[in-house]
Structure 1
Amino acid sequence: MVTYEYGNPNAVITLVQTVDEHDIAGIDDEVAEIQRLSGKEFRLLAVKVEIWNRDLSPWPAPAVFGKDDFGDGAGELLTEILKLCQDESKIYYLGGYSLADLFSLWAAYQTDKFAGILGSLRFRQREPLRGC
């Protein structure tokens, strides 16, 4: 598992975000925008996911889009992410988008380590879900 670190490493708030290769290029802009909007110091840990459908799914399932089936790697990924969240003086949030956001919701039911879940659940042509 490859992890990239951004923001203030001494901040109390740590955002843990699962990402794939194309997300890395935009992380600096994301960190700057979160900082601008929140006005809070934070650290962001971008955890690179090797195989999206396998590593973010807690159980096997046939492919929905394309030909890549879902695996059962979420438990192993969560175990690795929790190793990054050992400092009891920090507050941890977990997030992502699309399948990574669903992983975050699932993870919230597996552990109480995260103070909150951040993300953007979307449905059909990337329109935000309303009323959630």
Structure 2
Amino acid sequence: MKNEFRRVPEAMQRQVVLRLAVGAGFLFLFLVLQICLGDICFSLPCLLFGGGMIVNGGLLFYNGIKGNFIRIQGICRQIETTGIRKRIKNLYIDMEPYTLKMPVRHRIRNLIRGDTVIIYLSEKTPVYEQDKGYLICSYYALEIKKEV
């Protein structure tokens, strides 16, 4: 299983480990709350969230091993940020015949125009036409390679 995990791209490996670790943390929190308080109503959300994250991480691992993902690579053309905090809201990625718009779910640091962006997404991810380009709303992992 270790060799199979190494075949999964590094960005997806980080997501699998993160989701499994968060799931295990919430299961541990469930146990602590159950032992200390003994109230199932208070600790049940931890159990449900922890179990959901472990299942999500397991499915991502399975899809990575089986190759049920698409790897898209392009050049960052434009970065759209929020007003005050200047967090990245949308990325516009140039792929030769078209442009891909992608809303960003997490914090990205040190991204500038011209960097190579690699996106790993499910084969079943819907792709929508928008403004002479395409829009994707979900992805497994995002990897950035700096321009040298």
Normalising by the smaller structure, the TM-score range is under 0.3
Normalising by structure 1, report the TM-score. 0.27
TM-score (norm 2): 0.25
Highest Rg: 1 or 2?
A: 2
Q: Normalized per residue, which structure has more helix?
A: 2
Larger RCO, structures 1/2 (Cα 8 Å, 6+ apart): 1
